[in-house]
Amino acid sequence: MQTHPRLLFPLGFSTHVHSPVLSPGAQMFPGLWSGDMTNAFPSGQRGTKRRSSCPYHDNEDKRLPVTKITTLINHKDKPKKSEGTQAAVHRVGQAVSVAVGRFVTVGEAIATENQELKDEMGQACFEARRAGDTIAQLTDVGPALPSRSDGPVTVFSDRTGMVKAARLLLSSVTKVLVLADRIVIKQIITSRNKVLVTLDHLERVSTFQEFVQIFSQFGNEMVEFAHLTGDRQNDLKDEKKKARMAAARAVLEKCTMMLLTASKTCLRHPDCESARINKDAVFRRMRCALEQVIEIVTEARSCGENKMLPASIYNAINNFKSSVECLRENLNSPSPQSIGSQLEALVERTEDFTDSAYTSHEQRQAILGLCQLARQEAQQLVQAWAEAQSVQAKEATEDMEVAILKTCQSASELRRELHKVAVVRAADLLKVHGEQLPLRALKAAGAEGNLEAVAEYSRTLTEQKEQLVETCRLLCHVSGTEPLEITCIHAEETFHVIGPQIVSAAQTLALHPSSKIAKENLEVFCEAWESQLCDMALLLREINDVFEGRRGDKRSYVSLPRTGKHTANMKTAKAVKLDAEEQTSMAKQGLELRLLSSDVDAEVEKWEEQEHDVVRQSQSLASMAHNMYLFTRGEGLLKTTVDLFHQAEVLSEEGLQLCSSLRTFSTQLVEEEEKSVVMTEMEKMLPLCQQLQTGARSPVQGKTATFQKVDSSIQTTRGILTVVLSILSICHKLTRKYKSERSSLGSLQDWRERQDASTPVKEEETLNKDSNGFGVKSLEQHIVGLNLLESK
């Protein structure tokens, strides 16, 4: 059960949720699926985390009632209590009563808006209010607390009544939430039905005037649907469902713009078969995505759901290893023939790797060899188990233990090899396809009206599509988690669908080379392809994180500036909403920023000294850049352009602190060439940080100027991260080198004396040195990276 958004805060149930990660691209309604950077959302409703409908959205602790009810139930009924205890119990009871009153008020308002459930909701609210009043009465000690001289006093004597009231409260609250959940589901279904009706009308329009009118209505209905499904996705607790919902909403997001340009192209060229095919494919995909959302919301099980999540090799290996290890505890079980059948089923799934035309001979032989090794080890295990049975052993014999370990090890080695093959192939494909040569060639050939060239480059793109589809299938086998499996399947389906759509759009342009709308349509589909490639690169990183034991979670870094220091120059600044073209441009830069911040994180993990100044400051810069990336998607803590500029200023100051640390680092190096290399990188960093700081502080007026400032801030941040990557690599090599020399010198003191003898260091710098031998970190320097988000 999920929770109606208006009932989350009054009673205080935890509302910590993750925003959906969706790709930019709905240019007609940018922000529709990802935030309030455009006017798709009303003021104050930011993305899918909006809770503006709640009348009690403040900074109080909203989880108090649950813990306080527990406090009352567990309260020890002592014959005499201090005045402090009596007052505390009284406050707890009153707090519960007040929170219930707020909750019931919202529930009653919802009941008024939904007549079909008004009676049920009203009864549940009545019971909740009655239970809250009972708890308040049971904990009420009167207008004045008695003094100790009055003798023994109990705060509430009817413990049974308290338990009954608490049970009634919890049951009635649960009933209200269930009813509210039904209302939310009905709202989503009703919204979907309205979208479907308008979609049918859009598909049948024959004039531009009619299309513009209906598409405007369609846009409003999609905004409503985006709000409802976004809130629902946030409330989902099942990660698998949440991933499916995110995939469906991503399809709707991308298809919104495709539907616009494909329909316009078809209206402009009504007799063009390729334009009709192109448009029909978009409508089909939107309808499928809408149905998938309803399946998730209503928890319906479609006939194709089992096909959506095929058994992956990762899960098969885990199940196989579990069965093998269970033999240790089940010596008296029947002969473990099931292990052999499990292994053969696992080996059969590896045929997706070995039968692929893109798998090298060496990779194929390695996989087949490991499969054969696993068979041999499993056979040895069966023999060891049979021997243990023959001697009626009560626990696993030594031979059996060895066989179990070897069998599990062989399965792990097979998994490692399959992971390597899938990940290496994906990385190679992304490098090759990153240049987008077939897409460029298709655009050029279509603009020239060269049908033969379009056909030739279409075959090349189709081959690339098949490679990407197969690679996504292999990644699904080794992804490691169900949400990542769903994301792999979504990527596979996206490449499979968009490839032919690009071809049909290119054919239409070739037939009508002077058509601006046909050219725009092809551009939209090519951008969707490029966006999916970027998403695949992020997916690849997450799969690697899971395989290496990291969950891909970035350390939280809330770095909005404190009031006063960083906002002095921005008192008159106003938040600005960006249009479709501006948001699309910003989203592309944001993806590059995300990749760079991930690269910095990967470089940081190579360091043994995680508390080193350079490491900590670089990590802070990457975290702040990640916040800016989330802003381009309408997610995270940065909600407006003003927030972004605040963040940019803090990032610039942290960058300047890193420059200071690099200067101190260089003074501790012996060779002049090494110093020169570090100082060169610092000199690249310094002007970029100063440029970012100046730009963030400079006031601007107007929408165009604000967008240019946003664009400049993100581009400069990308430049800073690029330099940080180089700095981390250089400093890491130098620290390893000097660490090795330090070990050979015999003692840390000798090493420092040699340092001091060759490079004089100022007394002030010496006093500021950190214990890591290379870094400087004063408390004042570190505080700038620890600013907390403050309520405005």
Per residue in 705-737, pLDDT (tens digit) is 888 888 889 999 999 999 999 999 888 888 887
**pLDDT range class, residue 756, cuts 50, 70, 90:** low
pLDDT at 6 over 60: no
Question: Kindly report the CA angle at 395 between 394 and 400, in degrees rounded to 5?
Answer: 130
Per-residue b or e along 684-694, where b marks 16 or more CB atoms closer than 10 Å to that residue's CB: bbbebbebbbe
732 or 200, greater pLDDT: 200
Q: Categorise residue 44: left if φ over 0, alpha if ψ from -120 to 50, beta otherwise.
A: left
Identify the top-confidence range among 57-66, 385-394, 497-506, 671-680.
497-506
pLDDT of residue 245: 92
**pLDDT range class, residue 67, cuts 50, 70, 90:** low
pLDDT at 778 over 70: no
Find the mean pLDDT for residues 210-221: 89
Residue type, 627: N
- In sequence order, the 6+-apart residues with CB closer than 8 A to the CB of 333 are 327
pLDDT at 466 over 90: yes
Residue among 685, 681, 633 at smallest CA distance from 18? 633
Max distance between CA atoms of the chain, in angstroms, equals 103
pLDDT of residue 335: 58
Per residue in 608-649, pLDDT (tens digit) is 777 788 888 898 898 888 888 888 877 767 778 888 888 898
pLDDT at 566 over 80: no
Name the H helices within 139-238. 159-204, 208-235
pLDDT of residue 191: 92
Q: How many CA atoms lie within 13 A of 308 on its CB side?
A: 18
322, burial (CB in 10 Å: exposed 0-12, middle 13-18, buried 19+): exposed
On whether the CB atoms of residues 371 and 347 are closer than 8 A, the answer is yes
CA 408 to chain centre: 33
CA 89 to chain centre: 42
Q: Categorise residue 636: left if φ over 0, alpha if ψ from -120 to 50, beta otherwise.
A: left
Residue type, 210: E
The dihedrals phi and psi of 405, each to the nearest 5 degrees, come to -60, -45
Per residue in 366-395, pLDDT (tens digit) is 999 999 999 999 888 888 888 887 777 777
Quote the radius of gyration of the chain (alpha carbons, Å): 32
pLDDT of residue 19: 31
Whole-number Å distance between alpha carbons of 620 and 626: 10
**pLDDT range class, residue 526, cuts 50, 70, 90:** very high
Identify the top-confidence range among 569-578, 627-636, 696-705, 772-781.
696-705
The DSSP element (H or E) to which 242 belongs, if any, is helix 239-268
pLDDT at 156 over 90: no
Q: By mean pLDDT, which of 91-105, 421-435, 443-457, 766-780 is the weakest? A: 766-780
Find the mean pLDDT for residues 509-526: 93
Residue type, 392: Q
Per residue in 74-121, pLDDT (tens digit) is 555 544 556 766 677 778 778 888 888 888 888 888 888 888 888 888
pLDDT at 15 over 50: no
CA 109 to chain centre: 34
- In sequence order, the 6+-apart residues with CB closer than 8 A to the CB of 282 are 255, 258, 259, 262, 501
Q: What three-state secondary structure class fits 578?
A: coil
The dihedrals phi and psi of 103, each to the nearest 5 degrees, come to -60, -45
How far CA 646 is from CA of 105, 114, 668, in Å, comes to 38, 43, 34
Q: CB pairs under 8 A, 24+ apart, for 45-49?
A: 45/227, 46/634, 46/639, 47/19, 47/230, 47/634, 47/635, 48/19, 48/20, 48/226, 48/227, 48/229, 48/230, 48/231, 48/233, 48/234, 49/17, 49/19, 49/234
Question: Kindly report the CA angle at 448 between 445 and 449, in degrees rounded to 5?
Answer: 85
Q: Which residues pair with 776 in a beta bridge?
A: 769
CA 420 to chain centre: 24
pLDDT of residue 764: 37
Residue among 580, 657, 403, 606 at smallest CA distance from 26? 580
Q: What is the mean pLDDT of the chain?
A: 76
96, burial (CB in 10 Å: exposed 0-12, middle 13-18, buried 19+): buried
**pLDDT range class, residue 333, cuts 50, 70, 90:** low
774 or 266, greater pLDDT: 266
Whole-number Å distance between alpha carbons of 135 and 158: 11
Residue type, 423: V
Per residue in 577-613, pLDDT (tens digit) is 555 556 666 777 777 788 888 888 888 888 877 778 8
pLDDT of residue 66: 52
Whole-number Å distance between alpha carbons of 640 and 43: 11
Q: By mean pLDDT, which of 274-288, 384-398, 664-678, 685-699 is the weakest? A: 384-398
pLDDT at 506 over 90: yes
582, burial (CB in 10 Å: exposed 0-12, middle 13-18, buried 19+): buried
Neighbours of 622 (CB within 10 A): 26
pLDDT of residue 449: 92
pLDDT at 768 over 60: no
Q: pLDDT over 70 for what percent of the chain?
A: 73
Given the structure tokens 């049979």, which residue do they identify?
Answer: 386
| SS3 of the chain: helix, strand, coil, percent, to 5 | 75, 0, 25
**pLDDT range class, residue 284, cuts 50, 70, 90:** very high
Residue type, 134: T
**pLDDT range class, residue 286, cuts 50, 70, 90:** very high
The dihedrals phi and psi of 715, each to the nearest 5 degrees, come to -65, -45
DSSP, res 310: P
**pLDDT range class, residue 309, cuts 50, 70, 90:** low
Q: Categorise residue 511: left if φ over 0, alpha if ψ from -120 to 50, beta otherwise.
A: alpha
- In sequence order, the 6+-apart residues with CB closer than 8 A to the CB of 281 are 497, 500, 501, 504
pLDDT of residue 332: 65
pLDDT at 417 over 80: yes
Whole-number Å distance between alpha carbons of 749 and 631: 48
